[in-house]
Amino acid sequence: MDSEVVVSAFQDDSLGSDDAIVIAEKIKKGELDAKTVTRDAIRRAELVNPKLNAITEENFDFAQANSEKKFSGFFQGVPTFIKDTDEVPGLPLYLGSRSLPGESSDKYSKAAKQIIDTGLNCLGTTTTPEFGLTGTTESLRFGATCNPWNPAFSTGGSSGGSSALVAAGVVPIAHANDGAGSIRIPASCCGLVGLKASRGRIKDKEVPGYLPANILHDGVVTRSVRDTWAFHAEIEKNIPAKEYPAIGNISGSFPEKLKIAVLTENCLGEDSSAELVQATHDVAKLCNSLGHKIEMISNPFYRKFDEDFWLLWAHFGFLIRYSVGKELSKKFDHTQLEQWPKYLIARHWKNIHKIPIAFWRLRRFVSQYENFMQDFDILLTPTLGTTVPELGFFGPEVSGQDHWERINEFLPFTKYQNISGAPAITLPCGTDTKGLPIGIQLSSNLGEDRLLLKLSLQLEQNSNWKSLSK
Protein backbone atom coordinates (compact mmCIF):
# COMPACT_ATOMS: atom_id res chain seq x y z
CA MET A 1 0.00 0.00 0.00
CA ASP A 2 1.42 3.36 -1.07
CA SER A 3 0.81 5.75 1.83
CA GLU A 4 1.27 8.71 -0.49
CA VAL A 5 -1.87 7.92 -2.50
CA VAL A 6 -4.14 6.66 0.28
CA VAL A 7 -7.15 8.88 1.06
CA SER A 8 -7.90 8.57 4.75
CA ALA A 9 -10.05 10.55 7.19
CA PHE A 10 -8.90 8.63 10.27
CA GLN A 11 -7.66 11.00 12.98
CA ASP A 12 -7.62 11.58 16.71
CA ASP A 13 -11.19 12.79 17.23
CA SER A 14 -14.34 11.29 18.77
CA LEU A 15 -14.60 8.67 16.00
CA GLY A 16 -10.94 7.60 16.10
CA SER A 17 -10.66 4.22 14.40
CA ASP A 18 -13.54 2.72 16.40
CA ASP A 19 -16.27 0.63 14.91
CA ALA A 20 -19.94 1.51 15.29
CA ILE A 21 -20.44 -0.69 18.36
CA VAL A 22 -17.69 1.05 20.34
CA ILE A 23 -18.99 4.49 19.40
CA ALA A 24 -22.57 3.53 20.32
CA GLU A 25 -21.43 2.12 23.67
CA LYS A 26 -19.52 5.33 24.47
CA ILE A 27 -22.59 7.42 23.67
CA LYS A 28 -24.77 5.20 25.82
CA LYS A 29 -22.34 5.47 28.74
CA GLY A 30 -22.15 9.26 28.39
CA GLU A 31 -18.46 9.22 27.38
CA LEU A 32 -19.44 10.72 24.01
CA ASP A 33 -22.52 12.38 22.61
CA ALA A 34 -24.13 12.00 19.20
CA LYS A 35 -23.69 15.73 18.48
CA THR A 36 -19.88 15.54 18.77
CA VAL A 37 -19.67 12.33 16.78
CA THR A 38 -21.84 13.78 14.02
CA ARG A 39 -19.78 16.97 13.90
CA ASP A 40 -16.55 14.99 13.53
CA ALA A 41 -18.02 12.77 10.81
CA ILE A 42 -19.07 15.87 8.87
CA ARG A 43 -15.55 17.29 9.22
CA ARG A 44 -14.11 14.01 7.94
CA ALA A 45 -16.50 14.01 4.99
CA GLU A 46 -15.54 17.56 4.08
CA LEU A 47 -11.85 16.59 4.31
CA VAL A 48 -11.85 13.59 1.96
CA ASN A 49 -14.93 13.75 -0.25
CA PRO A 50 -13.32 16.21 -2.69
CA LYS A 51 -10.82 13.43 -3.42
CA LEU A 52 -13.28 10.51 -3.31
CA ASN A 53 -16.44 11.96 -4.90
CA ALA A 54 -18.61 9.61 -2.86
CA ILE A 55 -21.47 11.89 -1.73
CA THR A 56 -24.36 12.84 -4.02
CA GLU A 57 -26.24 15.06 -1.59
CA GLU A 58 -25.23 16.13 1.91
CA ASN A 59 -27.70 16.49 4.75
CA PHE A 60 -25.30 17.91 7.29
CA ASP A 61 -27.47 20.62 8.84
CA PHE A 62 -30.34 18.21 9.41
CA ALA A 63 -28.01 15.52 10.77
CA GLN A 64 -26.40 17.98 13.20
CA ALA A 65 -29.80 19.13 14.46
CA ASN A 66 -31.03 15.54 14.60
CA SER A 67 -28.01 14.52 16.69
CA GLU A 68 -29.35 16.51 19.64
CA LYS A 69 -32.33 14.20 20.09
CA LYS A 70 -32.32 10.97 22.08
CA PHE A 71 -31.97 7.93 19.81
CA SER A 72 -33.94 4.83 20.73
CA GLY A 73 -32.12 2.29 18.53
CA PHE A 74 -28.97 0.35 19.30
CA PHE A 75 -26.59 2.68 17.42
CA GLN A 76 -27.45 5.77 19.51
CA GLY A 77 -26.92 8.34 16.74
CA VAL A 78 -23.83 6.86 15.06
CA PRO A 79 -23.50 8.71 11.72
CA THR A 80 -24.22 6.94 8.44
CA PHE A 81 -25.12 7.53 4.80
CA ILE A 82 -27.94 6.15 2.65
CA LYS A 83 -27.20 5.03 -0.90
CA ASP A 84 -28.70 7.06 -3.75
CA THR A 85 -31.14 4.27 -4.59
CA ASP A 86 -33.42 4.99 -1.66
CA GLU A 87 -35.51 7.95 -0.58
CA VAL A 88 -34.33 10.29 2.18
CA PRO A 89 -36.65 13.14 3.25
CA GLY A 90 -35.70 16.43 1.66
CA LEU A 91 -32.99 15.01 -0.61
CA PRO A 92 -33.26 14.41 -4.35
CA LEU A 93 -33.21 10.83 -5.65
CA TYR A 94 -31.09 10.33 -8.78
CA LEU A 95 -30.15 6.61 -8.84
CA GLY A 96 -26.93 7.82 -10.42
CA SER A 97 -28.73 8.74 -13.64
CA ARG A 98 -29.08 11.80 -15.86
CA SER A 99 -32.46 10.44 -16.94
CA LEU A 100 -34.11 11.45 -13.64
CA PRO A 101 -34.54 15.07 -12.54
CA GLY A 102 -33.67 14.41 -8.91
CA GLU A 103 -37.02 14.94 -7.20
CA SER A 104 -37.20 15.01 -3.42
CA SER A 105 -39.31 12.82 -1.18
CA ASP A 106 -40.98 13.61 2.12
CA LYS A 107 -40.23 10.20 3.64
CA TYR A 108 -37.68 7.41 3.87
CA SER A 109 -37.99 4.39 1.60
CA LYS A 110 -38.98 1.15 3.34
CA ALA A 111 -35.39 -0.13 3.55
CA ALA A 112 -33.94 3.26 4.55
CA LYS A 113 -36.54 3.55 7.33
CA GLN A 114 -35.51 0.18 8.74
CA ILE A 115 -31.90 1.35 8.76
CA ILE A 116 -32.67 4.67 10.45
CA ASP A 117 -34.78 2.84 13.05
CA THR A 118 -31.63 1.08 14.29
CA GLY A 119 -30.52 4.45 15.71
CA LEU A 120 -28.26 5.59 12.88
CA ASN A 121 -28.13 9.28 11.91
CA CYS A 122 -28.15 10.00 8.15
CA LEU A 123 -25.61 12.54 6.86
CA GLY A 124 -26.65 12.32 3.21
CA THR A 125 -26.70 10.06 0.16
CA THR A 126 -23.90 8.22 -1.62
CA THR A 127 -22.95 7.56 -5.21
CA THR A 128 -24.00 4.63 -7.35
CA PRO A 129 -23.62 3.82 -11.06
CA GLU A 130 -26.67 4.44 -13.18
CA PHE A 131 -29.57 2.49 -11.62
CA GLY A 132 -27.00 0.35 -9.79
CA LEU A 133 -26.51 -1.73 -12.91
CA THR A 134 -22.78 -2.43 -12.89
CA GLY A 135 -19.79 -3.37 -10.77
CA THR A 136 -18.15 0.04 -10.57
CA THR A 137 -19.34 3.40 -9.26
CA GLU A 138 -18.88 5.68 -12.24
CA SER A 139 -21.63 7.65 -13.94
CA LEU A 140 -22.05 10.49 -16.38
CA ARG A 141 -24.21 12.28 -13.81
CA PHE A 142 -21.71 12.30 -10.93
CA GLY A 143 -18.40 11.13 -12.37
CA ALA A 144 -16.15 8.47 -10.86
CA THR A 145 -16.02 7.56 -7.18
CA CYS A 146 -12.41 6.81 -6.19
CA ASN A 147 -11.07 3.98 -4.08
CA PRO A 148 -9.51 5.37 -0.87
CA TRP A 149 -6.76 2.72 -1.06
CA ASN A 150 -5.69 4.25 -4.40
CA PRO A 151 -7.86 6.88 -6.15
CA ALA A 152 -6.84 5.62 -9.59
CA PHE A 153 -8.86 2.46 -8.98
CA SER A 154 -12.55 1.59 -8.78
CA THR A 155 -14.49 1.22 -5.55
CA GLY A 156 -16.53 -1.51 -7.17
CA GLY A 157 -20.27 -1.14 -7.39
CA SER A 158 -22.92 -0.52 -7.09
CA SER A 159 -22.61 0.61 -3.44
CA GLY A 160 -19.27 2.27 -4.12
CA GLY A 161 -19.96 5.64 -2.49
CA SER A 162 -20.93 4.08 0.84
CA SER A 163 -17.95 1.72 0.71
CA ALA A 164 -15.48 4.53 -0.02
CA LEU A 165 -16.72 6.58 2.95
CA VAL A 166 -16.59 3.65 5.38
CA ALA A 167 -13.16 2.49 4.19
CA ALA A 168 -11.76 6.02 4.41
CA GLY A 169 -13.06 6.40 7.97
CA VAL A 170 -15.76 9.04 7.44
CA VAL A 171 -18.41 6.82 9.05
CA PRO A 172 -18.13 3.27 10.45
CA ILE A 173 -21.26 1.92 8.73
CA ALA A 174 -23.30 2.85 5.67
CA HIS A 175 -26.25 1.61 3.64
CA ALA A 176 -25.69 -0.67 0.65
CA ASN A 177 -27.88 -2.91 -1.46
CA ASP A 178 -27.27 -5.94 -3.63
CA GLY A 179 -28.85 -7.35 -6.80
CA ALA A 180 -25.85 -9.20 -8.23
CA GLY A 181 -23.26 -8.52 -5.54
CA SER A 182 -23.56 -4.76 -5.02
CA ILE A 183 -22.92 -4.99 -1.27
CA ARG A 184 -20.14 -7.55 -1.60
CA ILE A 185 -18.33 -6.22 -4.69
CA PRO A 186 -17.46 -2.75 -3.32
CA ALA A 187 -16.85 -4.16 0.16
CA SER A 188 -14.26 -6.47 -1.41
CA CYS A 189 -12.69 -3.67 -3.47
CA CYS A 190 -12.46 -1.39 -0.43
CA GLY A 191 -11.34 -3.90 2.23
CA LEU A 192 -14.66 -4.06 4.12
CA VAL A 193 -17.20 -6.53 5.48
CA GLY A 194 -20.39 -6.83 3.47
CA LEU A 195 -23.26 -9.25 4.12
CA LYS A 196 -26.11 -10.00 1.76
CA ALA A 197 -28.48 -11.57 4.25
CA SER A 198 -30.99 -14.33 3.56
CA ARG A 199 -33.88 -13.21 1.40
CA GLY A 200 -36.46 -11.57 3.68
CA ARG A 201 -34.18 -10.67 6.62
CA ILE A 202 -34.70 -7.06 5.60
CA LYS A 203 -38.01 -6.17 3.99
CA ASP A 204 -36.58 -5.26 0.61
CA LYS A 205 -37.82 -3.74 -2.58
CA GLU A 206 -40.47 -5.72 -4.39
CA VAL A 207 -40.14 -6.88 -7.98
CA PRO A 208 -42.67 -8.25 -10.49
CA GLY A 209 -43.89 -11.71 -9.52
CA TYR A 210 -43.16 -13.26 -12.92
CA LEU A 211 -39.41 -12.88 -12.38
CA PRO A 212 -37.56 -16.02 -11.24
CA ALA A 213 -36.63 -14.52 -7.86
CA ASN A 214 -36.51 -11.30 -5.88
CA ILE A 215 -32.78 -10.71 -6.19
CA LEU A 216 -32.68 -7.29 -4.50
CA HIS A 217 -31.35 -7.13 -0.94
CA ASP A 218 -30.56 -4.20 1.37
CA GLY A 219 -27.88 -4.10 4.06
CA VAL A 220 -24.74 -2.25 5.12
CA VAL A 221 -20.99 -2.17 4.64
CA THR A 222 -18.80 -2.00 7.75
CA ARG A 223 -15.21 -2.35 8.94
CA SER A 224 -15.91 -5.22 11.36
CA VAL A 225 -17.91 -8.43 11.41
CA ARG A 226 -19.47 -7.53 14.73
CA ASP A 227 -20.85 -4.24 13.35
CA THR A 228 -22.50 -6.16 10.54
CA TRP A 229 -23.81 -8.67 13.08
CA ALA A 230 -25.12 -5.95 15.42
CA PHE A 231 -26.91 -4.21 12.57
CA HIS A 232 -28.77 -7.32 11.45
CA ALA A 233 -29.56 -8.32 15.04
CA GLU A 234 -31.14 -4.89 15.57
CA ILE A 235 -33.12 -5.17 12.33
CA GLU A 236 -34.36 -8.53 13.57
CA LYS A 237 -35.56 -7.02 16.85
CA ASN A 238 -37.65 -4.48 14.98
CA ILE A 239 -38.94 -6.72 12.17
CA PRO A 240 -38.35 -10.44 12.94
CA ALA A 241 -37.92 -12.83 10.01
CA LYS A 242 -39.98 -15.59 11.58
CA GLU A 243 -39.26 -18.09 8.80
CA TYR A 244 -35.55 -18.27 9.73
CA PRO A 245 -33.49 -19.10 12.83
CA ALA A 246 -32.75 -15.95 14.80
CA ILE A 247 -29.42 -14.19 14.29
CA GLY A 248 -29.41 -13.08 17.93
CA ASN A 249 -26.67 -11.28 19.81
CA ILE A 250 -22.96 -11.67 19.22
CA SER A 251 -21.56 -14.75 20.90
CA GLY A 252 -17.98 -15.34 21.97
CA SER A 253 -18.29 -19.02 21.12
CA PHE A 254 -17.14 -20.27 17.76
CA PRO A 255 -19.09 -22.59 15.50
CA GLU A 256 -18.91 -26.32 15.59
CA LYS A 257 -16.48 -27.91 13.15
CA LEU A 258 -17.83 -27.13 9.71
CA LYS A 259 -17.62 -28.79 6.32
CA ILE A 260 -16.44 -26.14 3.87
CA ALA A 261 -16.46 -26.46 0.07
CA VAL A 262 -13.81 -24.38 -1.72
CA LEU A 263 -14.57 -23.19 -5.26
CA THR A 264 -12.35 -20.95 -7.41
CA GLU A 265 -13.73 -21.55 -10.92
CA ASN A 266 -16.75 -20.12 -12.70
CA CYS A 267 -19.66 -22.06 -14.16
CA LEU A 268 -17.62 -22.72 -17.33
CA GLY A 269 -14.79 -24.26 -15.32
CA GLU A 270 -12.43 -21.27 -15.73
CA ASP A 271 -10.33 -20.20 -12.71
CA SER A 272 -10.19 -16.75 -11.15
CA SER A 273 -6.98 -14.73 -11.30
CA ALA A 274 -4.00 -16.35 -9.60
CA GLU A 275 -3.81 -13.85 -6.73
CA LEU A 276 -7.44 -14.46 -5.80
CA VAL A 277 -7.08 -18.23 -6.04
CA GLN A 278 -4.07 -18.08 -3.71
CA ALA A 279 -5.89 -15.83 -1.24
CA THR A 280 -8.83 -18.24 -1.19
CA HIS A 281 -6.53 -21.20 -0.57
CA ASP A 282 -4.86 -19.28 2.26
CA VAL A 283 -8.24 -18.72 3.94
CA ALA A 284 -9.07 -22.40 3.40
CA LYS A 285 -5.82 -23.31 5.20
CA LEU A 286 -6.77 -20.99 8.05
CA CYS A 287 -10.17 -22.68 8.28
CA ASN A 288 -8.47 -26.06 8.35
CA SER A 289 -6.12 -24.94 11.14
CA LEU A 290 -9.20 -23.94 13.14
CA GLY A 291 -10.54 -27.49 12.86
CA HIS A 292 -12.92 -27.17 9.92
CA LYS A 293 -12.99 -29.78 7.15
CA ILE A 294 -12.02 -28.48 3.72
CA GLU A 295 -13.01 -29.98 0.36
CA MET A 296 -11.84 -28.54 -2.95
CA ILE A 297 -14.59 -28.80 -5.58
CA SER A 298 -15.22 -28.11 -9.24
CA ASN A 299 -18.12 -25.81 -10.08
CA PRO A 300 -21.31 -27.82 -9.40
CA PHE A 301 -23.75 -25.38 -11.00
CA TYR A 302 -25.12 -25.54 -14.51
CA ARG A 303 -22.99 -24.06 -17.31
CA LYS A 304 -25.61 -21.66 -18.61
CA PHE A 305 -26.12 -19.94 -15.24
CA ASP A 306 -24.20 -16.78 -16.14
CA GLU A 307 -25.87 -16.55 -19.53
CA ASP A 308 -29.30 -16.84 -17.91
CA PHE A 309 -28.54 -14.39 -15.11
CA TRP A 310 -27.28 -11.70 -17.44
CA LEU A 311 -30.40 -12.15 -19.56
CA LEU A 312 -32.36 -11.42 -16.39
CA TRP A 313 -30.13 -8.38 -15.90
CA ALA A 314 -30.85 -7.25 -19.45
CA HIS A 315 -34.55 -7.57 -18.61
CA PHE A 316 -34.02 -5.15 -15.72
CA GLY A 317 -32.65 -2.68 -18.26
CA PHE A 318 -35.86 -3.16 -20.25
CA LEU A 319 -37.98 -2.58 -17.10
CA ILE A 320 -36.09 0.63 -16.29
CA ARG A 321 -36.69 1.95 -19.80
CA TYR A 322 -40.36 1.07 -20.10
CA SER A 323 -41.70 0.94 -16.55
CA VAL A 324 -39.54 1.74 -13.54
CA GLY A 325 -38.20 5.05 -14.83
CA LYS A 326 -41.71 6.37 -15.44
CA GLU A 327 -42.85 5.17 -12.01
CA LEU A 328 -39.99 7.08 -10.39
CA SER A 329 -40.68 10.33 -12.22
CA LYS A 330 -42.99 11.66 -14.91
CA LYS A 331 -39.93 13.60 -16.12
CA PHE A 332 -37.91 10.43 -16.77
CA ASP A 333 -35.97 10.92 -20.02
CA HIS A 334 -34.82 7.60 -21.50
CA THR A 335 -32.72 9.39 -24.14
CA GLN A 336 -30.31 10.33 -21.35
CA LEU A 337 -29.55 6.73 -20.39
CA GLU A 338 -25.90 5.70 -20.61
CA GLN A 339 -24.44 3.15 -23.04
CA TRP A 340 -24.63 0.21 -20.64
CA PRO A 341 -28.39 0.37 -19.94
CA LYS A 342 -29.04 0.94 -23.64
CA TYR A 343 -26.93 -2.11 -24.47
CA LEU A 344 -28.87 -4.19 -21.92
CA ILE A 345 -32.18 -3.08 -23.46
CA ALA A 346 -30.96 -4.01 -26.94
CA ARG A 347 -29.73 -7.36 -25.66
CA HIS A 348 -33.12 -7.99 -24.06
CA TRP A 349 -34.94 -7.47 -27.37
CA LYS A 350 -32.41 -9.54 -29.30
CA ASN A 351 -32.78 -12.48 -26.92
CA ILE A 352 -36.42 -12.13 -25.88
CA HIS A 353 -37.22 -15.61 -27.22
CA LYS A 354 -34.75 -17.09 -24.70
CA ILE A 355 -36.34 -15.51 -21.63
CA PRO A 356 -38.90 -18.22 -20.75
CA ILE A 357 -36.36 -21.06 -20.63
CA ALA A 358 -33.74 -18.87 -18.92
CA PHE A 359 -36.17 -17.86 -16.18
CA TRP A 360 -37.29 -21.49 -15.80
CA ARG A 361 -33.69 -22.61 -15.28
CA LEU A 362 -33.06 -19.81 -12.77
CA ARG A 363 -36.14 -20.87 -10.78
CA ARG A 364 -34.81 -24.44 -10.74
CA PHE A 365 -31.45 -23.13 -9.50
CA VAL A 366 -33.00 -22.31 -6.12
CA SER A 367 -33.49 -26.03 -5.40
CA GLN A 368 -30.17 -26.91 -7.08
CA TYR A 369 -28.31 -24.60 -4.68
CA GLU A 370 -30.23 -25.98 -1.70
CA ASN A 371 -29.44 -29.55 -2.73
CA PHE A 372 -25.75 -28.75 -3.14
CA MET A 373 -25.57 -27.10 0.28
CA GLN A 374 -27.05 -30.18 1.96
CA ASP A 375 -23.57 -31.69 1.74
CA PHE A 376 -21.77 -28.61 3.10
CA ASP A 377 -22.13 -25.97 5.79
CA ILE A 378 -20.19 -23.25 3.95
CA LEU A 379 -19.17 -22.43 0.38
CA LEU A 380 -15.85 -20.50 0.19
CA THR A 381 -14.96 -18.63 -3.01
CA PRO A 382 -13.12 -15.48 -4.05
CA THR A 383 -15.57 -12.59 -3.94
CA LEU A 384 -14.53 -11.45 -7.41
CA GLY A 385 -13.04 -13.04 -10.51
CA THR A 386 -10.28 -10.44 -10.95
CA THR A 387 -8.41 -7.95 -8.80
CA VAL A 388 -9.70 -4.38 -8.39
CA PRO A 389 -9.91 -2.70 -11.82
CA GLU A 390 -8.69 0.77 -12.65
CA LEU A 391 -11.24 3.53 -13.08
CA GLY A 392 -12.60 3.52 -16.60
CA PHE A 393 -12.48 -0.25 -17.05
CA PHE A 394 -16.26 -0.42 -16.63
CA GLY A 395 -16.81 3.30 -17.06
CA PRO A 396 -19.77 4.87 -18.90
CA GLU A 397 -17.61 5.53 -21.97
CA VAL A 398 -16.89 1.81 -22.48
CA SER A 399 -18.87 0.16 -25.28
CA GLY A 400 -21.73 -2.09 -24.25
CA GLN A 401 -20.12 -5.22 -25.72
CA ASP A 402 -16.78 -4.60 -23.98
CA HIS A 403 -18.64 -3.88 -20.73
CA TRP A 404 -20.55 -7.16 -21.14
CA GLU A 405 -17.41 -9.23 -21.58
CA ARG A 406 -15.58 -7.53 -18.71
CA ILE A 407 -18.44 -7.78 -16.21
CA ASN A 408 -18.81 -11.49 -16.93
CA GLU A 409 -15.16 -12.09 -16.03
CA PHE A 410 -15.34 -9.80 -12.98
CA LEU A 411 -18.41 -11.36 -11.31
CA PRO A 412 -18.44 -15.16 -11.42
CA PHE A 413 -19.47 -15.84 -7.79
CA THR A 414 -21.72 -13.18 -6.28
CA LYS A 415 -24.85 -13.90 -8.34
CA TYR A 416 -25.56 -17.42 -7.06
CA GLN A 417 -26.86 -16.14 -3.73
CA ASN A 418 -29.07 -13.46 -5.27
CA ILE A 419 -30.99 -16.15 -7.14
CA SER A 420 -30.97 -18.74 -4.34
CA GLY A 421 -31.72 -16.18 -1.62
CA ALA A 422 -28.96 -17.66 0.55
CA PRO A 423 -26.77 -15.40 2.70
CA ALA A 424 -23.26 -14.49 1.58
CA ILE A 425 -20.59 -12.32 3.16
CA THR A 426 -17.33 -10.88 1.88
CA LEU A 427 -14.37 -10.48 4.22
CA PRO A 428 -11.07 -8.69 3.60
CA CYS A 429 -8.22 -11.18 3.42
CA GLY A 430 -5.16 -9.22 2.34
CA THR A 431 -3.95 -7.14 -0.58
CA ASP A 432 -2.79 -7.82 -4.12
CA THR A 433 0.54 -6.87 -5.67
CA LYS A 434 -0.81 -3.33 -6.30
CA GLY A 435 -1.65 -2.90 -2.61
CA LEU A 436 -5.41 -3.09 -3.19
CA PRO A 437 -7.76 -5.21 -1.07
CA ILE A 438 -8.70 -8.80 -1.82
CA GLY A 439 -11.97 -10.24 -0.54
CA ILE A 440 -13.16 -13.79 -0.03
CA GLN A 441 -16.81 -14.79 0.02
CA LEU A 442 -18.49 -17.20 2.42
CA SER A 443 -22.04 -18.40 1.85
CA SER A 444 -24.25 -20.84 3.71
CA ASN A 445 -27.66 -22.44 3.57
CA LEU A 446 -30.76 -20.26 3.37
CA GLY A 447 -31.49 -18.84 6.81
CA GLU A 448 -28.10 -19.77 8.29
CA ASP A 449 -26.95 -16.17 8.66
CA ARG A 450 -25.92 -16.68 12.29
CA LEU A 451 -23.62 -19.59 11.43
CA LEU A 452 -22.09 -17.54 8.60
CA LEU A 453 -21.46 -14.61 10.93
CA LYS A 454 -19.95 -16.85 13.63
CA LEU A 455 -17.43 -18.30 11.19
CA SER A 456 -16.69 -14.80 9.84
CA LEU A 457 -16.03 -13.56 13.36
CA GLN A 458 -13.76 -16.50 14.03
CA LEU A 459 -11.73 -15.80 10.89
CA GLU A 460 -11.52 -12.09 11.66
CA GLN A 461 -10.27 -12.75 15.19
CA ASN A 462 -7.62 -15.17 13.94
CA SER A 463 -6.31 -12.93 11.16
CA ASN A 464 -4.38 -9.70 10.81
CA TRP A 465 -5.98 -8.33 7.68
CA LYS A 466 -5.11 -4.72 6.81
CA SER A 467 -7.41 -1.72 6.88
CA LEU A 468 -6.76 1.97 6.27
CA SER A 469 -7.09 2.63 10.00
CA LYS A 470 -4.02 0.53 10.85
For the chain, the three-class secondary structure string (H helix, E strand, C coil) is: CCCCCCCCCCCCCCCCCCCHHHHHHHHHHCCCCHHHHHHHHHHHHHHHHHHHCCEEEECHHHHHHHCCCCCCCCCCCCEEEEECCCCCECCEECCCCCCCCCEEECCCCHHHHHHHCCCCEEEEEECCCHHHCCCCCEECCCEECEECCEEEEECCCCCHHHHHHHHHCCCCEEEEEECCCCCHHHHHHCCCEEEECCCCCCCCCCCCCCCCCCCCEEEEEECCHHHHHHHHHHHHHHCCCCCCCCCCCCCCCCCCCCEEEECCECCCCCECCHHHHHHHHHHHHHHHHCCCEEEECCCCCCCCHHHHHHHHHHHHHHHHHHHHHHHHCCCCCHHHCCHHHHHHHHHHHHCHHHHHHHHHHHHHHHHHHHHHHCCCCEEEEECCCCCCCECCCCCCCCCHHHHHHHHHHHCCCCHHHHHHCCCEEEEEEEECCCCCEEEEEEEECCCCHHHHHHHHHHHHHCCCCCCCCC
Which residues are paired to 219 by β-bridges?
176
Catalytic residue among 99, 154, 182, 456: 182
83 in catalytic set: yes
Identify whether 182 is a catalytic site residue.
yes
- Which entry of 67, 99, 158, 444 is annotated as an active-site residue? 158
**Quick check: is 158 catalytic?**
yes
**Catalytic pick from 14, 35, 67, 83?**
83
Catalytic positions: 83, 158, 182
